[in-house]
Amino acid sequence: SAVVYLVALWVMGRDLFVGEEMLNDIDERYRAHHAKKIKELKGRRKRVFADELHRPARAAPVVMNILESWIREGRKWRLDMSFASQRHQDFPDFMIDLATSIYILKGPQTGADDLAATFKLNATEKRVVERRLPGPGKEGAPMLAKFVTRHGNFTHLLVNTIGPRELWAFNTTATDRAVRDQLYEALGPRRARDILAEVYPGGSVAEEKNRRLELLNAQGGNDENISIEDQIVEELVARATRPETA
């Protein structure tokens, strides 16, 4: 795993850290070409984003050592770096100490004492994490955002809101993903998102599934072969493909 991560870092990073001092090692015949490329790269803002941070963290310490160097030196190369993981324990101390923006998207299920200690939250911030961060929903995705700036440190409770098509595109829950993927196959991605957004603008069929299950139980239904997801898919496909009336 470590070798694969190192190769990936080389492929991704070989154009991130280039400067005019490298021109002396290039054949004079090609120097003008590379000088132009280096100038373009130095003036361009670069961004690196890594999800599932626990994977490289467990794979090999050398990978994290390289990332630490990138973080420490990235500013002078116009390099922004972002990392995401489900657990705050996955972030090493150097990453937290050097971070200028921290986003906490959901509070822990068993108290926030450890998380508050990791990110140095005050009492108010800890209370927000415990009470105001239930995770994404149809009203949006709340988050606690901490910013380190030249003018001081600031903390805000923010809500990221997106439209119904984006909600469906980015939804990763098992039930909703099953419905979406079947519709992708039946209608194509764009038409599938259109019909999902039209009928379920909240970005989920979870409430509708629960409503149908309660109704089925109340009527004494117990057929284990019944799939609520399949019923919803059939209805949406029929709605999307029926002829329009004048």
- Beta bridge partners of residue 156, listed in sequence order: 145
Mean pLDDT across the chain: 89
CA nearest 202: which of 236, 168, 237, 159?
168
Task: Please choose, from the candidates 76, 60, 70, 100, the residue with its C-alpha nearest in 3D space to the C-alpha of residue 10.
Answer: 70
145 close to 156: Cβ distance less than 8 angstroms: yes
Which among 188, 193, 200 has a CA at the least distance from the CA of 232?
200
Taking only the tens place, the pLDDT of each residue in 152-190 is: 999 999 999 888 999 899 888 899 999 999 999 999 999
Bridge partners of 83, per DSSP, are 50
Number of neighbours of residue 198 by Cβ within 10 angstroms: 13
Distances (CA, A) of 234 to 44, 237, 241, 244: 48, 5, 11, 18
Pairwise CA distance, residues 236 & 172, whole Å: 19
Decide if pLDDT at 225 tops 70: no
DSSP code at position 203 = S
Interatomic CA distance for residues 15 and 1, integer angstroms:
23
3-class SS at 67?
helix
Residue 239's pLDDT is 93
> Phi, psi at residue 27, to the nearest 5°?
-55, 135
Residue pair 130/111 in contact by the 8 Å Cβ criterion:
yes
Q: What is the DSSP letter of 66?
A: H
Helix (H, G, I), strand (E, B) or coil at 38: helix
CB 76 within 8 A of CB 108: no
Calculate Rg over the CA atoms of the chain.
Answer: 24
The per-residue pLDDT for range 99-138, each reduced to its tens digit, is 999 999 988 877 789 999 999 999 999 999 999 998 877 7
Answer for the pair 20, 34: CB distance below 8 angstroms, yes or no: no
Name the residue type at position 222. N
Torsion of CA 81, 85, 88, 94, to 10 degrees: -30
pLDDT in tens, 182-211: 999 999 999 999 999 999 998 899 999 999
Per-residue pLDDT of 48-83, as tens digits, reads 998 988 888 777 788 899 999 999 998 888 999 999
Q: What is the pLDDT of residues 2-60, one digit of tens each?
A: 888 889 889 888 888 888 888 889 998 999 999 998 888 888 889 999 898 888 877 77
Backbone angles phi, psi at 141, to 5 degrees: -115, 105
pTM: 0.74
